[in-house]
C-alpha cells in the first residue's frame, strides 16, 4: 500500500462518476485499504434533487453542502452553497484522511466546492504532495486541472465504458 498514485474521474452529470468511485473504493476496502476523504451525495425529496450533503468518510460527520431551500451563501445554479460546511467538514476530513488513510477520495471537486478559497488552496496543495488521492472532478474543471496537474491521469466515464472503467482505474492504482 505504498502506492502514491493520483487519478481524476470525470464525465457529464448523471453518467455514474460517483458509482465508479464507489466500485473502486469497495474493491480497495476488500483488499484492506483504509479509505478517507469526502463524498457529496444528492439530497432528494419526492424523487427530485434538492441539494447535496457533504460527508466525512472516516468520521461520518455530515452537513449540507448546497440546497435549494437555503437562502444564505453564494448561489450556483438553483443551489445555495454552504461554504461554512465545506470548511468545517471537508477540509478537516481531507487533512485527517491524508494522515490516517491509505487513499483519500474527494467526490467531488466542482464549482460549489471551489467557492471556498481555503478548500481550493488545500486541493492545489494536496495534489502536489506524495499521497494517494482519487478525485471526481466536474467536467467544467477538466481543462484547468489537466493543465495544472499534467501528470495526473483523467479517467472519463462514458455510457460506453462505465461498466468497466473502474477496473481500468484499479489497474492504474494497483500497478
How many helices and strands in the chain, by DSSP H and E? Answer: 6, 10
- Beta-strand ranges (E) seen in the chain are 6-10, 35-39, 42-45, 48-56, 62-67, 75-76, 79-81, 103-109, 133-137, 154-156
Give the H or E element holding residue 120: helix 117-126
| Binding site members for ATP | 11-18, 103-110
Q: Is 72 exposed, middle or buried (0-12, 13-18, 19+ CB in 10 A)?
A: exposed
Q: How much is the pLDDT for 89? A: 98
In the DSSP assignment, the letter for residue 87 is I
Q: How much is the pLDDT for 40? A: 95
| Binding site members | 11-18, 103-110
Distance CA 7, CA 165 (A): 13
Domains of the chain: 6-40+53-61+90-174 (3.40.50.300)
Q: What is the pLDDT along the chain (175 residues), one digit of tens a residue?
A: 556 799 999 999 999 999 999 999 999 999 999 999 999 999 999 999 999 999 999 999 999 999 999 778 999 999 999 999 999 999 999 999 999 999 999 999 999 999 999 999 999 999 999 999 999 999 999 999 999 999 999 999 999 999 999 999 999 999 8
Amino acid at each position: 500500500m505504498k502506492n502514491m498514485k493520483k487519478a481524476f474521474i470525470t464525465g457529464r452529470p448523471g453518467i455514474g462518476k460517483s458509482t465508479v468511485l464507489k466500485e473502486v473504493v469497495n474493491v480497495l476496502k476488500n483488499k484492506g485499504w483504509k479509505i478517507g476523504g469526502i463524498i457529496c451525495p444528492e439530497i432528494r425529496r419526492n424523487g427530485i434533487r434538492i441539494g447535496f450533503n457533504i460527508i466525512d468518510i472516516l468520521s461520518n460527520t455530515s452537513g449540507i453542502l448546497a440546497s435549494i431551500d437555503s437562502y444564505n451563501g453564494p448561489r450556483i445554479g438553483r443551489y445555495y452553497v454552504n461554504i461554512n460546511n465545506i470548511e468545517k467538514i471537508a477540509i478537516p476530513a481531507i487533512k485527517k484522511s491524508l494522515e490516517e488513510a491509505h487513499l483519500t477520495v474527494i467526490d467531488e471537486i466542482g464549482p460549489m466546492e471551489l467557492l471556498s478559497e481555503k478548500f481550493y488552496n488545500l486541493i492545489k496543495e494536496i495534489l502536489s504532495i506524495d499521497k494517494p488521492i482519487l478525485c471526481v472532478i466536474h467536467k467544467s474543471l477538466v481543462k484547468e486541472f489537466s493543465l495544472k496537474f499534467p501528470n495526473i491521469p483523467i479517467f472519463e466515464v462514458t455510457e460506453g465504458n462505465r461498466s468497466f472503467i473502474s477496473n481500468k482505474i484499479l489497474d492504474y492504482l494497483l500497478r
